[in-house]
Amino acid sequence: MCMMDASRGGAHEINVVINDPQHKGFDNNSNNNNNNVINRDTQLHYFFRDFLRTIPVNKVLEEIVLIGKAACPVATTTFLVFSKSIISMLFLSHMGKIELAGGALAISFANVTGLSIMKGLCMGMDPICFQAFGAKRFSVLNQMYIKTFILLLITSVPITFLWLNMEPVFHLLGQDRVITKVAAMYLTFTLPELPALANVLPLRSFLRAQGLNSPATMVATCSTILHLPLNYFFISYLKLGVKGIAMASTCYSYNMNIGLLIYLFMSRDAIKPWAARNRANLLSIFQGWGPLLSMAIPSLFSVCLEWWWYEIILFLSGLLDNPQSCVAATGLIMQTTGVIYVIPFSLSLSISQRVGNELGAGQPARARWAAIVGVSIASVYGLLVFGLSVAFRNVYGKLYTNEVQVLALLSSSLPVTGLAEVGNAPQTAACGALTGSARPKLGVRINIAAFYLVGLPMAIVLAFVLKIGYRGLWLGLVASQAACASLMMYTLVKTNWRDQAKRAEELTLAMDKDDETELNELVT
């Protein structure tokens, strides 16, 4: 403010001098230059004033409230579900090093080969459901819920065979036999969780498409509270050890199912899949799978490609000098970024819901502002995370370990990973806008280009060729997120929202008619 006042005063004085008859000898070139500066300042002032006038402040504030109402319950639910693994790890850590290592290996393997796949496939129903709800075609929601449940149930079969044969596979990869045996036992007793996940994941999406996010939060809260005594009961009372922790984890998912189904039966707000006016006929369940698969498969690759990138970084960190410290630091950073990711992920889901609902309702302008506001919120969050990572880089690691080498690696790398969040947060939010407009294939192409054509080669070159070492791996992540964010922003800027609204109308109409040929054309 002081600088602006000073500049205005200076300009006024120049005008006085120029117009003073006693200064007729004043240099004309200087006069013209000063006038040009004043004109440029005036033009900038009017430009920003006109730009600010084009922003519908009331709509922006309304959109912030709507996104916040959708994102906060989703974020809380995600934190609570994430805490299940943390609680399991705490109980494993009190059982011994072998149990902790085996359980950690099993949980990581289950996440990569099971949960990520089922979550990715389930995300395929989101854009169709969001747009169908906005268009008030509720029978489409029921079709997507039932079909996604069947799809995930079928998917759980090969996952089951993989988990049952996990032990010989890890032996071939040279893993410790004792640790592998514990991990295999944990996975065996986690198998009953797969059918529960096959229902609870699409059920949560089914309710979220209707704007009903709070029920999942309440149910997750109750399930998390029950998770502690269940672990204690299986471990201390029944003396089941690692098996008991796996069984408690399975109970968590069944408790989520029971709670959400009770809500679905008792709620007056939720659409009832079994209601005569809404339920899908038996024939429709066996027809029209093309659209769901056309959304689910790209969503699967989009989720897995990013998850697997971090696993590759974990593997590469083991090839550096002092691999034990590097792997330990990577594990802590991955856990930290997982927690940080909850907010952008929740924003992404809420933006997807808002964009899909508005496009389905034929409101392209509101869909556009939902995307703009959501990405802006995510950008502010990314900057906040970067600032905190720089400020607490020398303190944060001490919460987990006293190892000097690990602390040094964390101190040097946390600002770099924080910088990556400046790109990660807005690109995740932008990906939600793509999902809401039923364009998951674009997200897959962008992820492949950013993470595997830019980021991964950059990480390898920086860490191993240029000898930057451990921090070079995370500089590769910065390159990935920068490329991904740039491509996402370019895609959103070039989006014709009116065309997307028309496309959403055609998509939901075709779903009602079970016209699979037309649907396949719309989603490709």
| CB neighbour list of residue 137: distance below 8 Å, 6 or more residues apart | 508, 509, 511, 512
Structure tokens at 445: 């192409």
| CB neighbour list of residue 522: distance below 8 Å, 6 or more residues apart | 291, 438, 503, 506, 507, 510
Q: Indicate the Cα dihedral angle 112, 118, 121, 124, nearest 10°.
A: -120
Q: Is the model's pLDDT at 207 over the cut of 70?
A: yes
Rounded mean pLDDT, 285-301? 81
- Tell me the pLDDT tens digit for each residue of 99-125: 877 787 788 788 888 888 999 899 888
Report domain extents, the chain: 73-288, 298-524
Rounded mean pLDDT, 394-398? 85
Rounded distance between C-alpha atoms, residue 364 and residue 72, angstroms: 24
- Tell me the pLDDT tens digit for each residue of 411-465: 999 999 999 999 999 999 999 898 888 888 888 889 889 999 999 999 999 999 9
pTM: 0.75
- Tell me the pLDDT tens digit for each residue of 350-388: 898 889 888 888 888 888 989 999 999 999 999 999 999
